[in-house]
């Protein structure tokens, strides 16, 4: 299985290409949707890397893919500006999910 990157910036794309991961740079919702459909048609792709900006800007698309498909696995990665999440986002997520304060 292979990975594929869908990025919102050239820097992340270039870095991942140097690591051997193919990908594309898109900026609009329609472009993201079209690229995801292309990736879904390729049965060799097991992991799709998305920069976090897509999760913030187009949560409907990202959630739709996560809830409606088992493969490929969708993973949000931070870009060169770092993560847009709070420092303790994992603890907060667990607290919300199970109602248990850690």
Rounded Cα–Cα distance for residues 79 and 81 (Å): 5
Cα angle value 68/84/95 (rounded, 5°): 65
For residues 51 and 79, is the Cβ–Cβ distance under 8 A? Answer: yes
Which pTM was predicted?
0.76
**Domains of the chain with CATH codes:** 2-98 (3.40.50.10580)
Q: Pick the range with the lowest mean pLDDT from 8-12, 71-75, 79-83.
A: 79-83
Query: What whole-number distance in Å separates Cα of residue 50 and Cα of residue 58?
Result: 11
Q: What is the pLDDT of residues 11-41, one digit of tens each?
A: 889 988 998 999 999 999 999 999 999 999 9
């Amino acid at each position: 299985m292979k990975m594929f990157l869908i990025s919102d910036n050239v820097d992340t794309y270039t870095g991942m290409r140097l690591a051997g991961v193919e990908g594309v740079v898109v900026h609009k919702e329609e472009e993201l949707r079209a690229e995801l459909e292309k990736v879904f048609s390729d049965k060799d792709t097991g992991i799709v890397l998305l920069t976090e900006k897509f999760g913030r800007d187009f949560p409907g698309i990202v959630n739709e893919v996560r809830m409606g498909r088992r493969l490929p696995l969708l993973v949000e990665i931070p870009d060169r500006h770092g993560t847009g999440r709070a420092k303790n986002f994992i603890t907060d997520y667990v607290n919300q999910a199970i109602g248990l304060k850690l």
